[in-house]
């Protein structure tokens, strides 16, 4: 079954005990019965002629990412399970940010930081100190948001928010000298390589020279994602006084005042206005300000973290 992603559906996946138990080394004998196999395909985001999709088999837990172009299913981008076969590392952090932001702008349920960040961080290696600093507060907000709402059916155990956050950051930390990874620009496109020549091979299909990863299609998809994200802003919005007179750091900027001025200028985008007036966290306001100013993802978070 192929369905569009929603906050509630992603929440059920990310908060389901089956999503985490293998990673937290919880033994199978803790189950009274063998868990059922559940297969779902989610359309996470469509941009241009392609869509990013994930196929999920739960219990055992397997997630596979791929692009679809029309009726054609392109080669796998990456996959991850709770056993011994996995090549998960697929996204650069900035790519994950653009994907999650565009999805949030299109669906009021998929707030950012929120469901897509929590789900796809599983496929995003953290390769620099800066990415670790950015990921910690972003993931904390995303997982906390997913923890809200009616309780999901859960057996005797289930990871706490702190368990999830600690595990995510530890598992995705790929900075370690000698066995860490780094993103490099190649003739094919951005690829993940070992940080040192004698280091470990990255757990990725997206390696330099790979003939299996669809580099050209991925680059085209990301170009369409970034273009659609930036096109959200009507040029007339940037003419409002609150944007014309403030510095790039947003010093002394009143988000509510900005929302009022945008409304007067004809902005009725529910996600933009909500992030300025009633954010789930200041981080939600920061990324919308980056959008309105035409800034790169993370520029305001870096200022907030004192970089």
Query: Per-residue pLDDT tens for 128-186?
Result: 988 888 888 898 888 787 776 655 444 434 456 667 677 777 778 888 665 689 999 99
Average pLDDT of the segment spanning 272-298: 94
Q: 3-state SS string over the chain?
A: CEEECCHHHHHHHHHCHHHHCCCCCCCHHHCCCCCCCEEEEEEEEEECCEEEEEEEEECCCEEEEEEEECCEEEEEEEEEECCCCCECCCCCHHHHHHHHHHHHHHCCCCCCCCHHHHHHHHHCCECCHHHHHHHHHHHHHHHHHHHCCCCCCCCCCCCCHHHHHHHHHHHCECCCCCCCEEEEECCCCEEEEECCCCCCCCCCCCCCCCCCCCHHHHHHHHHHHHHHHHCCCCHHHHHCHHHHCCCCCCCCCCHHHHHHHHHHCCCCCHHHHHHHHCCCCHHHHHHHHHHHHCCCCCHHHHHHCCC
pTM beyond cutoff 0.85: yes
Q: Could you read off the pLDDT of 68-111 as tens digits, one per residue?
A: 999 899 999 999 876 666 889 999 999 999 999 999 999 888 88
């Amino acid at each position: 079954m192929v369905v569009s992603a929603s906050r509630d559906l992603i929440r059920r996946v990310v908060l389901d005990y089956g999503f985490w138990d293998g990673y937290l080394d919880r033994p199978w004998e803790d189950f009274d019965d063998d868990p059922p196999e559940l297969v779902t395909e989610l359309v996470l985001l469509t941009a241009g002629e392609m869509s990013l999709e994930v196929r999920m088999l739960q219990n055992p837990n397997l997630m596979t990412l791929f692009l679809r172009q029309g009726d054609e299913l392109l080669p796998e981008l990456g996959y991850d399970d709770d056993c011994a076969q996995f090549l998960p590392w697929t996204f650069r952090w900035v790519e994950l940010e653009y994907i999650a932001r565009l999805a949030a702008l299109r669906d009021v349920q998929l707030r950012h930081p929120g469901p897509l960040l929590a789900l796809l961080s599983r496929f995003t290696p953290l390769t620099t100190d800066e990415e670790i600093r950015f990921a910690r507060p972003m993931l904390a907000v995303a997982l906390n948001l997913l923890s809200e709402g009616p309780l999901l059916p859960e057996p005797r155990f289930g990871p706490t928010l702190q368990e999830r956050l600690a595990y995510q950051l530890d598992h995705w930390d790929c900075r370690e000298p000698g066995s860490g990874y780094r993103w490099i620009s190649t003739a094919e496109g951005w690829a993940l390589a070992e940080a040192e020549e004698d280091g470990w091979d990255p757990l990725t299909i997206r390696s330099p020279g790979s003939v299996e990863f669809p580099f050209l299609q991925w680059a085209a998809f990301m170009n369409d994602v970034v273009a659609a994200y930036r096109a959200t802003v009507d040029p007339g919005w940037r003419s409002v006084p609150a944007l014309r007179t403030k510095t790039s750091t947003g010093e002394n900027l009143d988000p509510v005042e900005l929302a009022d001025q945008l409304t007067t200028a004809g902005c009725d985008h529910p996600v933009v206005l909500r992030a300025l007036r009633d954010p789930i966290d200041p981080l939600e306001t920061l990324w919308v300000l980056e959008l309105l100013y035409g800034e790169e993802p993370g520029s305001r978070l870096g200022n907030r973290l004192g970089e």
